[in-house]
Structure 1
Amino acid sequence: MSACHTDKNTTMSDNFASGNLGKPEVAKTSSKQANIQLDNDNHNVTLDSFPLWRNWWYVKLNNVKQHRRFSLTIDDIFSAETPGWTNSYTPVYSYDKKQWQRFDENQVTSSTEDIGNGQQRQRISVDAKYDKNQVYIARFYPYTQQDFNDYYQNLKSEHQDKFDQGYIKRETLGESSVHHLPIDMITITDPNVNSGKKRIWIQTRSHPAETGSSFVVEGLINWLLSDNTEDADYALSHFIFNIVPIHNPDGVYDGNYRTNSLSQNLENAWVRSSSNSAVLSQDSPLENQILSREMFKLSKSDSPFIMALNLHSTQSDADRQAFFFPHFGRESLGYNTNEAQLWNNTIRFINGVRNNYKNEQGQPLIEATPDQGGRSFVTNTYPESWWWANFGDKVMAVTMETTYEKAGYQQGYVTPDRLRNLGVALMKSLIEYNQSSATFEANALLKEPALRSQLELNRPTEEQTKN
């Protein structure tokens, strides 16, 4: 975190949680404009070969002239051979870090140009007038540990009776690597039902700037604790939800996009011990070791895991909908019985979400799934790889990626409320998943048109989003 003071009237800073003004030595302000240049997580030069990881910024402007045009320019410079993110996007702003709104499209311009020496510059410029002289501007809706703490306190005041009865519990599993911040787990279930439950694991923010998953979690928690809802009561009495709201608190605090404070990518570093697949080796980041220990401990309880949701957000084309990464495929494509069963279960759940998350015209707001997901994750070190190595098809482990801009078939931009609605759709689909047949052919939610080839999908691969 740093501060830029290059004009006596206007200042720019990132000395707050999740703040990031890129390269401090480049950032500058004047009374009419400010400029930043994106930098690697932790200003780590060894990450120069990963320019796509430079996609989070979040700054505070002080002493901006009210109701006068002010320009903020965000640059990223990278090799033409290894380009960074070149699509346009529409940032957000707030006067209090609580109420956020998008800029209008006509306030934002984007360009990509060659600047010589084999380099390109991607530029986003925001020209706007502000009602106050202090404004926060960010790549996407920020969501810090304090935001979750505030949300949790509001939740407690709204549902004090359920907190008192033990429906929801918060505990710290361990502390992060550098800042020693708590890695919390929220457990939600009906305490009056003591047997016959199944367990659901949900983790978010392995990549710190992928804040969409935090709003999804708010939505599903709100729905679970909603009063007088028969489906929510069913969910609470049949399942135990173990939710890790911020897996990477160091990265969130530092304003990183992809890594923790040690520049470790938590998502592809679930390195299993050669002697015991349930145990992560010392080569794995501490944050992952903390989660895996808890996951394995809970798996030994009387309530077995049946599902593990790994929630992310991804850079995408402007109209990309949220999507999943299923694994394996049908037996007819050469997969064995257990592999095909995991595929069938995953597709059944995904299409349940597609059925429950639609626009007003009834069109699904979840991307179609590929015709097969492949086996590559088995030999990788993803969270889903850990689940498969230890539980096979008994646990349906899958990643969901939300997006940042407009979601196809839906008017306007992705917003926190729309992401919360997606959390509700996940919960409704979970109930249908639990109540319906586990076989591919018998499930009415499975529709052939929901399957597409990889070429037709034209979306990021699992390797691109995780590695």
Structure 2
Amino acid sequence: MKISSNFDAGSIEVIALNSFEDIQLRIRKDNASDFAQWFYFRLQGAAYEPCKLRFLNIKDTAYPKGWEDYQAVASYDRVNWFRVPTYLDGDELVIEHVPLAGSIYYAYFEPYSHEQHLNLIGMAQSSGLSQVSDLGSTVQQRDINLLTIGHEVESDLKIWVIARQHPGETMAEWFVEGLLTRLLDTQDPTSRALLDRATFYVVPNMNPDGAILGNLRTNAAGANLNREWLNPSPETSPEVFHVRNKMLETGVDLFLDIHGDEAIPYVFVAGTEGVPNYNERIAALETAFKQQLRVASPDFQDEHGYDKDAPGAANLAMATAWVGNQFNCLAYTLEMPFKDNDNLPDDDFGWNGQRSLRLGEASLSAIYGVLKDLR
């Protein structure tokens, strides 16, 4: 029996591997910070054996409530992922599963690999509708790529979508894949109508270093990118530094920052109620967007989510707050669950990559629904 994680996004610490029924593990911290929640590893040599995998340090992880009612995911081929029996036992998280093959992967959520990321950029460019530009380099000298789809004329509305500031929130890039696939479909009337009036600026992965390192929340320098927007550093948060500069160059009329939430089992959004420039126009746009997204996707709801910031109390170091305040525009953080969507549960798959992708597709209908009122 063997456990390995020396691959793209792999992350685990093995404590004991002496018995199929007592595999002892620890969830590893991000490479340069104390955040710990993401895991992704391969188990070999346990075919048809009743395995009990014990995660010993969940009380020390970033979001202990994220383990309540949580089910891990597994795959034999890293394409088809399914949920496996997972439960809390005191201060431990336990997976009990009988692998049906000699090699199986377990993960916190369905991964989105760097190879998939590069393929997504290649697909977008090959459509003939998208330009790929390089904004700069990450801490570990990986590319920060921007996809630009539209005419780029001054009269166009400027729609910005970014994903995976927190690299372990892989559902965010699945969302972007759905959005891009529909937006680049020349037979889709909603996409054609959008591109007649708007240019889209899309960053599919804000944090490729963290993604490859198997981090949950930070980049290679230990920076939480979603706390860097007020004063980003070209040395420790270049990902935000370069994207922010491009936004200042283009302007922003609508901004979506795509995330996943560890604890809340719903799809929801968080707006800019607490920023200094918040006003009745933005409030009306927020309401309209939520109404449109509810119609476009029954997966979305607006009853459960984060508490709204009091007036003037927003953290302007966060992307949605900074962008919404800087450009006086509609700006939302969109959150998807790591668990399942309790409004439309799926026992076999929970919330997964395909459901995230479908939500990305549906989001274009919501954007189209508010387009005429953005400026």
TM (norm. structure 1) is: 0.72
Matched, 1:14 2:5: yes
Partner of 2:267: 322
Q: Which runs of 5+ in 1 are unaligned?
A: 1-9, 48-52, 113-120, 273-279, 300-304, 330-334, 439-467
For 1:355, what is the secondary structure of its paired residue?
helix
**Once the two structures are superposed, what CA deviation does each residue of 1:428-457 show, in whole Å capped at 9, x if it has no partner?**
01111013698xxxxxxxxxxxxxxxxxxx
**What is the one-letter code of the residue matched to 1:313?**
G
Residue 406 of structure 1 and its aligned partner are, at CA, apart by 2.0
Which of 95, 104, 109 pairs up with 1:140? 109
Partner of 1:403: 337
For 2:361, what is the secondary structure of its paired residue?
helix
Partner of 2:131: 169
Change (3 A) 1:232 1:27: farther
Change (3 A) 1:188 1:258: same
Larger Rg: 1
| Correspondences of 1:309-388 after superposition (within 5 Å) | 309-317=256-264, 320-328=265-273, 339-358=279-298, 365-367=301-303, 373-376=309-312, 378-388=314-324
Change (3 A) 1:266 1:371: closer
**What is the one-letter code of the residue matched to 2:97?**
A
**What is the one-letter code of the residue matched to 2:266?**
Q
Partner of 2:96: 127
Which of 32, 35, 52 pairs up with 1:71? 52
For 2:279, what is the secondary structure of its paired residue?
helix
For 2:69, what is the secondary structure of its paired residue?
coil
Matched, 1:93 2:74: yes
| Correspondences of 1:138-287 after superposition (within 5 Å) | 138-153=107-122, 160=126, 162-163=127-128, 167-177=129-139, 179-189=140-150, 191=151, 194=153, 196-272=155-231, 280=232, 285-287=237-239
**What is the one-letter code of the residue matched to 2:250?**
L
Q: In angstroms, what is the RMSD of aligned CA positions?
A: 2.9
Residue 369 of structure 1 and its aligned partner are, at CA, apart by 7.2
Residue 210 of structure 1 and its aligned partner are, at CA, apart by 0.7
Aligned mates of 2:341, 2:312 — CA distance in 1: 28
Equivalent pairs, count? 371
Partner of 1:416: 353
Change (3 A) 1:111 1:32: closer
For 1:90, what is the secondary structure of its paired residue?
coil
Residue 221 of structure 1 and its aligned partner are, at CA, apart by 0.9
Q: Is the 8 A contact 1:220 1:426 kept in 2?
A: yes
Q: Which runs of 5+ in 2 are unaligned?
A: none
For 1:42, what is the secondary structure of its paired residue?
coil
Residue 180 of structure 1 and its aligned partner are, at CA, apart by 1.3
Aligned mates of 1:371, 1:254 — CA distance in 2: 32
Aligned mates of 2:227, 2:277 — CA distance in 1: 27
**What is the one-letter code of the residue matched to 1:185?**
L
Residue 33 of structure 1 and its aligned partner are, at CA, apart by 4.7
Partner of 1:59: 41
**What is the one-letter code of the residue matched to 1:328?**
E
**What is the one-letter code of the residue matched to 1:411?**
P
Q: Is the 8 A contact 1:313 1:401 kept in 2?
A: yes
Aligned mates of 1:260, 1:407 — CA distance in 2: 28
Which of 34, 40, 45 pairs up with 2:23? 34
Aligned mates of 1:245, 1:210 — CA distance in 2: 12
Residue 216 of structure 1 and its aligned partner are, at CA, apart by 0.9
Partner of 2:368: 431
Aligned mates of 2:306, 2:54 — CA distance in 1: 38
TM (norm. structure 2) is: 0.89
For 2:340, what is the secondary structure of its paired residue?
coil
Aligned mates of 1:70, 1:406 — CA distance in 2: 24
Partner of 1:116: none
Aligned mates of 1:36, 1:396 — CA distance in 2: 43
Q: Is the 8 A contact 2:29 2:37 kept in 1?
A: no
Q: Is the 8 A contact 2:67 2:263 kept in 1?
A: no
